[in-house]
Structure 1
Amino acid sequence: MKQILCLSSQPWSTIPTRTQHLMTRLKDAKILFLEPPSRNYRKPGRKVRPGLTVYALPPAPEATEDQRLLRFVRYRRLTRHILKLMDLHRFREPLLWCTSPEQVHLLDTIPHQGLVYDCDQDWLDTPPEWESDLALAADVIFAASEGLADHLSPCSDNIALLPNGVSYPMFSRPDNECPAPLTDLTGPILGFVGTIWEDLDLIPAIQAARALPRCTFVFVGRVEPYNPHLRTLEALPNVRLLGRQLPVDIPDYLSRFDLCLHLLRRSDYGADVVPSRIYEYLSSGKPIVAMFFPDHVEHFPDVIYAAHTPGEFVRLCIRALEEPEGWPAARRREHGAAAAWSNRAMQVEQILSANGLY
């Protein structure tokens, strides 16, 4: 059975991350999933599935690139804890799975037989040398988008494109129930699933809600209170902010939507990673109207209505609501099925096996 030591950039969550989805689906593997430093590091490991145990790393002083002494103290402490866990679980030379450039500082002190770097975002807040060194040391790099693959290509010739995915059976099931907050709605429902971040551009949704007073605009997800357009959105009579819902209930909301909406954050500019939300929308088969930056590549142009201005967003919402039943919904589900996390994990296994790492 293959041993995998996974250094996660995010804690284990009830809303599964990309790393969680992949680690839970790799077959014939014994996995130690190490969360970022936390005060919970003294707690026993959590066995989240057979062969997969989650631990938190101990708190350690943050260190910038030029704070060598602090960096030495930080990574010495992390190393000691990791080696202790490896010894406890009899890990000798596992496959080391890295998800963040700063983990490059652990490569020389953690014994491993093979290194994977899974890159799912632009790491603009870390020194570029860290990611370059990690990419140069990696046996295989998985990149979540073509842009990330191009960015890392000078450092490696063994990069595999591995986009985000979706729990397809969960989001494509036909027997969903209508959530209680939506039972009184009779007209078309246009829905957004995700956090309303401080920098989320709500203007397209506000203009659409004003132009379509007979439709209800539903927002499912956490709300950041400092978005400058939040009060305007909340004040509209046909808008409902339902807050965070249980992940298991999200497919029920999508099944009730007549149209799915995708909005942009200012921090999304320049990024070409397809969010998992898009794959969830596709799996539902429902029409999708998405905002794109002017120079961004449009994802799934055959089944997603792509808008570049608020006015175009409104027009496409009207057009999408008139979409006839038939091949568009089936084609969206095909895209969703292809992006199932089980398929992504199978691709990982095949690539690692071909490289003698699995």
Structure 2
Amino acid sequence: MSQEKYIHVVVATGSWDQDDLRYRRHRFAEYLRQKEETEEVIWVCPTPVRNDQRFRKLPNGIMEYQIPDILPPRIFRFGRYLDPFYKNKLNELKIYLNERNTFKHVLWFTFPGFPLLAELTKWNKIVYDCSDLWAAPIGGKQSLVMKWREKSIHSAENRIINESNSIFCTSDFLHETVKKNPFSADKDVHVLENGVEFNNFNESQVTGDHRLTSLPKPVIGFLGGIKPKLDFELVKKLAVTYPDWSIVFIGPDGTNGSEEFKELLKEQNIHWLGKVDPAIVPEYMKAIDIGILPYKESIYNRAVFPLKLFEFLAAGKPVVGMNLPSTIKYQEPGVYIYSDTNDDFISSLTDVASEIGNPLLIEKRIEAAKEKDWKNIFNQLYSRGLDSKL
């Protein structure tokens, strides 16, 4: 008997190569693509650019299906959550899936966009992999526009939760939030935190001419999208307190012109290197002495489980974080330090700086990350998602 084949549709926040960043959803889509029983993976995503060609084949073999926003400016992204603004843009995808009705169809929502997809075809399973408190303002600020946006996202997310067979959350806070939702009353809701490509980050080596090796030590670093959820005033205070330390930001600017970030870059010991190829991010992790997760206090950040925590640890680097309650349970001296105040954050870095190369602590950091390999996490996501009750 021939094996049943699956077409997996992954609903993503943007095009595959947007910002050249790799999130959980990218790694999971590639995991699905490599499964023996997978016929095809389709990456469904919004795009601010109008394109007559909806489908495009990515170099990794995944098919991308683009749904253009009403207009390019960010303010028009509300159309991703309201059916009339995208319904007709799903027609080609519907035809494509219906022509392949001999395969099992699985829908994976990774953000609460395009909820009408749940009615597009007869899905064998619908799964919601929730990684953020999507309706909350990322910078912590609220406005009339943001309140309307919040209402639209809540409505879309409620529909997705209601239609899903199984739901996964990347933090305990998200899990508690989803469990309180009346639409999740009879759903399987699990916590599966973010992980790490362990071997890549553990085994990577730094070349002698690496661009970070010439900076004064210690090199304190943040890698990832630079967004309003970060506390730039805190990092500026750190830069002023320790002018001889090097503080590095590596990643694209997603601050929408933040004046705080612009002011931070005026400090002589702050270095913003821009975005780098995801393939060499492990090398940058190895070149940094201490990783930082300097997040603001906000409702949004209470739900965040940062991708970089276990990546830093797999590279043997200590980490100091703040305003990320989902990570408190992983704190351990010399491994991961969780700070409650700005002063604690800065003093913790002072303590950690004296133990960077301690071989016993390096081993502890690596051990803390070893069990968090993405393959282990995705094996659970896949098996539980497909085995969930209808």
Q: Matches of residues 1-358 of structure 1 in structure 2 within 5 Å? A: 1-13=5-17, 14-26=20-32, 27=35, 28-30=37-39, 31-37=41-47, 38-40=49-51, 42=53, 44-50=55-61, 52-57=62-67, 73-87=84-98, 93-124=104-135, 125=150, 126-153=152-179, 154=182, 155=184, 156-178=186-208, 180-198=210-228, 200-223=230-253, 224=255, 226-265=257-296, 269=300, 271-292=302-323, 298-302=328-332, 303-323=335-355, 325-355=358-388
* Conserved 8 A contact 1:202-1:229: yes
Give 5+ residue unaligned stretches, structure 2: 136-149
Which letter does structure 2 place at the counterpart of 1:123? Answer: W
2:268 and 2:78 map into 1 onto residues whose CA distance is 49
| Cα shift at 1:93 | 4.8
User: Any idea what SS the aligned residue of 1:101 has?
Assistant: coil
Structure 2 CA distance for partners of 1:259 and 1:346, relative to 1, 3 Å: same
Which residue pairs with 2:147 in the alignment? none
* Conserved 8 A contact 1:287-1:304: yes
User: Any idea what SS the aligned residue of 1:45 has?
Assistant: strand
More displaced 10-residue stretch of structure 1: 13-22 or 191-200: 191-200
1:111 and 1:176 map into 2 onto residues whose CA distance is 50
* Conserved 8 A contact 1:48-1:54: no
Structure 2 CA distance for partners of 1:184 and 1:127, relative to 1, 3 Å: closer
Deviations 1:117-174 (A, max 9, x none): 1111112123534322321221111111111112222414401212122222221114
More displaced 10-residue stretch of structure 1: 249-258 or 191-200: 191-200
Identity level (%): 21
Which letter does structure 1 place at the counterpart of 2:312? Answer: Y
1:225 and 1:35 map into 2 onto residues whose CA distance is 21
Structure 2 CA distance for partners of 1:58 and 1:265, relative to 1, 3 Å: same
Matched residue pairs, number? 351
2:226 and 2:104 map into 1 onto residues whose CA distance is 43
User: Any idea what SS the aligned residue of 2:217 has?
Assistant: coil
Deviations 1:267-326 (A, max 9, x none): 565523211122221221111111227x77625112311222222222111100112613
* Conserved 8 A contact 2:296-2:323: no
Give the TM-score, by structure 1 length: 0.85
Give the TM-score, by structure 2 length: 0.79
Give 5+ residue unaligned stretches, structure 1: none
Structure 2 CA distance for partners of 1:314 and 1:270, relative to 1, 3 Å: closer
Which letter does structure 2 place at the counterpart of 1:46? Answer: K
2:292 and 2:161 map into 1 onto residues whose CA distance is 35
* Conserved 8 A contact 1:191-1:259: yes
* Conserved 8 A contact 2:296-2:322: no
| Cα shift at 1:343 | 1.6
* Conserved 8 A contact 1:178-1:253: no
Structure 2 CA distance for partners of 1:208 and 1:78, relative to 1, 3 Å: same
Deviations 1:21-75 (A, max 9, x none): 112113121222222255235154314435x32222355687979xxxx956435
More displaced 10-residue stretch of structure 1: 23-32 or 179-188: 179-188
| Cα shift at 1:333 | 1.9
Structure 2 CA distance for partners of 1:269 and 1:8, relative to 1, 3 Å: closer
User: Any idea what SS the aligned residue of 1:151 has?
Assistant: helix
| Cα shift at 1:77 | 0.8
* Conserved 8 A contact 1:216-1:240: yes
